[in-house]
Structure 1
Amino acid sequence: MPTFSEARRTILDHVSTTGIERVSLIDAIGRTLAEDMTAPWNMPPWDNSAMDGFAVRAGDCQAPQTLLKVTGYIPAGAIATSAVEAGCAIRIMTGAPIPPGADAVVPVEETEEDADSVKILEPVKARQHIRFAGEDIKTGDRVLAAGTAITPSAINMLASLGTALLPVFRRVRVAIVSTGDELVELGGQIGKGQIINSNALSLAAAVKEIGGEPVIVGIARDNRESHLHILQQGLQADVLITSAGVSAGDRDLVREILTELGAEQLFWKVDIKPGRPTAFAMKANTPIFSLPGNPVSSMITFEELVKPALLKMMGRKQVIAPLFKATLTEEIRKKPGRLHFLRVALERGKDGYLASSSGNQETGIVKTMIQADGLAMLPPDKALFAAGEQVDVHILNQDFLLEEA
């Protein structure tokens, strides 16, 4: 039975990126760049004014209260057709090209303008308030590297460089299969001993949240024929995730049927709690994740084992969530021997994060998953964690990192 780190390494070693497609710039948001992007021209493409004001010769403006003749006006989008002569200035707007002869711009608030002249109130430094051609990006520079997540600022840069279509890694298509005679689809009639197939919706939402394309295939009932039919459908996707049916009961058929369908099991069970009966297999290039049926176990194993793999398949370089230190506010006990993911509520203390149990840690208690801001990773070799002790926490609730309005 692999440790958590061993299991995650095995998974990441066996998955590879999806294909590449070209999408419009706005549709690339959140996607991952598949090729390096280089600049076809300088940014900015020409020397231009950073301020509304006056283009001048700095050498003419070394004494306070310098009076210059205004000989022209250049708005943004215009072309500089005349030069700044000695003793003269040209009125200029932000973004307008610097006219020949000028080597500085004086902001309008640092001047006093008359009908056809302007008084420069303070000495001027050469090159002030000018954005020079290529000072941001030079022709041929690598603007973005393959593997970069596309953000609004990346879109701004690429649009400025005339990019209309962007090569990105294809969204991973993830089939989701639930198993069990007790399951009823949302909206169906619920009889005694039956429950709604909530895991499928939770897993689909988690896939969609990170940019994948979830496909809810359906419920494999507790017989061989149903499992064969549903799992064969699921194997048509890039990735297959199953929920429940991987323990040792006589109706837990998932691993057996997957083996019949040609899947190679790479591990079954992981040395963690919750989520021990998690399995991982490959059929050709298709990864197969078989997760526990308990809702919390399903969500945690997705977060810790499946999500990094899906991110890698969609081209991300950074796929493992960073850990933060948090100080326990209460004593925590657990059985030694397994890495334990403790659902914790977090708050900010004066010296960093404070963590406390979010409530009942049983794997069927979804409420404490909702109330959890993160997962504290309690090492396998310890049983007692004292109040005041620091632990590593994987933050789940990204809103927690934001400041209150």
Structure 2
Amino acid sequence: MSAKPGSSVEAIASCIAGYDPNALSVEQAREFIARFVPRVEAVEKLALRSALGRVLAADVVSPIDVPAHDNSAMDGYALRGSDLAAGAPTTLRLAGATAFAGGAASAAPPSGSCVRIMTGAVMPAGLDTVLPQEFAQAQGDAVTVPAGVVATGDNRRRRGEDLARGEVALAAGRVLKPADIGLVASLGQAELAVRRRLRVAFFSTGDELRSIGEPLEPGCVYDSNRYTIHAMLTRLGVEPIDMGVVRDDPAALEAAFRSACECADAVLTSGGVSVGEADHTKQVMARLGDVAFWRIAMRPGRPMAFGRVEAGASGANSAVLFGLPGNPVAVMVTFYAFVRDALLAMAGATPLPLPLLRARATEAVRKKPGRTEYQRGVVTRASDGDWDVALTGAQGSGILRSMSVANGLVVLHHAQGSVERGGHVDVIPFDALV
């Protein structure tokens, strides 16, 4: 049984084995989200220098062979491999003009001859091997090749060995990196077809929150979540739309959701989804759309809302909803556990699993099987060459400084129990989240 992206929450839930919204595993939640989110279809053409970080909308097919000709991989002497003596030095006669990069191929020299050649120069006709100049014993027009320093075909780049004409150079769905931009330039292409940038609206909820610059009354705190979310979205390459702080008022919340649906593909909220919090946010979410409220078997970040909210009865303007917890660390953990890959998929990219580093715990870590835990850690290289990871101390979900100090998230998997000191754990390096 399957359900396509855009199906209802109920339809998706029926496809998830063992689905229980009150005890959902991290993997079940990821599967649910992956089945639910739609993809951006709009495509635009961009100049090559403006395409970094964008999602490729169509395969880039090489119109040429790269390299276009057989050429030399280094400075030296081009020769025929068939002229080399077996197990003995070979002396060749230097013939013709030196071959430089950018010139046309020269005519084939006589048998027993070689041609001086520079790196990148087209191989002269009939020659198939390059003797590096540091191995050559040159005296006048005679060049001696010591025995065994070169074999037929050495130090020659073949035509099309990087890319052959008609070969796919970059596949659709790729998030373009600096090397990709250079690769496309090497094919002589000035523009790329990319997906329209995903628009993501976000706001924080809570009467206790104050924005930077406002006075801080007793019982109030400055809102850090919007700044963290803005930074994470910016690094992800989407278009962030900051809608500020929305108070715990049904009318204000409804207006914020409707506005988000009219301008964005997805909306992220922080706060208002935990048990015991004012339930205005959950009520408005449920009234405006098709939303599931989850208690995920994870720490931090157990409460989460996910689904679709709409600006009107027709559903013409709708957005995918991610209702995140309010605690600062829980916001970051749930973003990287669920939201990151979902937004990449919505943007048309093909998300790849984040790399995991195996590191040795410098202290015992307590954990019960049955939930996934993410703990903040500092990874360092030990004197024996192994990686060590030390926890940052108290792991409360409100201690944002611990995320700033850490350089990775220790992942304690669902079925995993406690870890002894010296045991190995998986770590997501923060650099992998760029």
The TM-score by the shorter chain falls in which range?
0.7 to 0.9
Shift of 1:392: 4.3
**Is 1:318 the equivalent of 2:351?**
yes
**Match for residue 403 of structure 1?**
none
State the alpha-carbon separation in 2 of the partners of residues 109 and 381 from structure 1: 59
- State the number of aligned residues: 397
Output one character per residue of 1:345-381: Cα deviation in whole Å (capped at 9) or x when no partner. Answer: 3344548444443211222211222233333344567
Contact 1:325 1:390 in 2 (8 A): no
Aligned CA RMSD, in angstroms, stands at: 3.0
Contact 1:219 1:230 in 2 (8 A): no
**Match for residue 259 of structure 1?**
286
State the alpha-carbon separation in 2 of the partners of residues 45 and 36 from structure 1: 21
Shift of 1:280: 0.7
Shift of the 390–233 alpha-carbon distance from structure 1 to 2, 3 Å rule, reads: farther
State the alpha-carbon separation in 2 of the partners of residues 373 and 82 from structure 1: 59
State the alpha-carbon separation in 1 of the partners of residues 274 and 151 from structure 2: 76
Alignment of 1:100-119 (within 5 A): 100-113=125-138, 117-119=141-143
Shift of 1:288: 0.4
**Match for residue 169 of structure 2?**
143
Contact 1:246 1:278 in 2 (8 A): yes
1:26 to 49, 53, 65: 49
Shift of the 355–90 alpha-carbon distance from structure 1 to 2, 3 Å rule, reads: closer
Contact 2:248 2:281 in 1 (8 A): no
Secondary structure (helix, strand or coil) at the match of 1:73 reads coil
**Is 1:234 the equivalent of 2:260?**
yes
Output one character per residue of 1:245-268: Cα deviation in whole Å (capped at 9) or x when no partner. Answer: 22345733222122333x101233
Shift of the 15–329 alpha-carbon distance from structure 1 to 2, 3 Å rule, reads: same
Shift of the 128–195 alpha-carbon distance from structure 1 to 2, 3 Å rule, reads: same
**Is 1:40 the equivalent of 2:73?**
no
Shift of the 179–66 alpha-carbon distance from structure 1 to 2, 3 Å rule, reads: same
Contact 1:344 1:373 in 2 (8 A): yes
**Match for residue 340 of structure 2?**
307
Shift of the 81–345 alpha-carbon distance from structure 1 to 2, 3 Å rule, reads: closer
Alignment of 1:89-128 (within 5 A): 89-113=114-138, 117-122=141-146, 125-128=151-154
Name whichever of 213-222 and 26-35 sits farther off. 26-35
Contact 1:376 1:391 in 2 (8 A): no
State the alpha-carbon separation in 2 of the partners of residues 59 and 145 from structure 1: 41
State the alpha-carbon separation in 2 of the partners of residues 217 and 254 from structure 1: 15
Provide TM-score, normalisation by structure 1.
Answer: 0.86
Shift of 1:57: 4.2
Shift of 1:43: 1.5
Contact 1:28 1:168 in 2 (8 A): yes
Shift of the 111–312 alpha-carbon distance from structure 1 to 2, 3 Å rule, reads: same
Contact 1:57 1:84 in 2 (8 A): no
Structure 2's unaligned 5+ residue stretches are 1-21, 310-314
**Match for residue 206 of structure 2?**
180
Output one character per residue of 1:153-197: Cα deviation in whole Å (capped at 9) or x when no partner. Answer: 333332211122222333321111111222222223333332222
**Match for residue 27 of structure 2?**
5
Amino acid of the structure 1 residue aligned with 2:68: P
Contact 1:378 1:391 in 2 (8 A): no
State the alpha-carbon separation in 2 of the partners of residues 239 and 104 from structure 1: 57
Name whichever of 63-72 and 191-200 sits farther off. 63-72
Secondary structure (helix, strand or coil) at the match of 2:98 reads strand
1:85 to 110, 122, 140: 110
2:405 to 371, 379, 399: 371
Provide TM-score, normalisation by structure 2.
Answer: 0.81
State the alpha-carbon separation in 2 of the partners of residues 371 and 204 from structure 1: 19
State the alpha-carbon separation in 2 of the partners of residues 309 and 272 from structure 1: 18
Name whichever of 23-32 and 61-70 sits farther off. 61-70
Amino acid of the structure 1 residue aligned with 2:28: E
Structure 1's unaligned 5+ residue stretches are 401-405
Shift of the 143–387 alpha-carbon distance from structure 1 to 2, 3 Å rule, reads: same
State the alpha-carbon separation in 2 of the partners of residues 329 and 60 from structure 1: 62
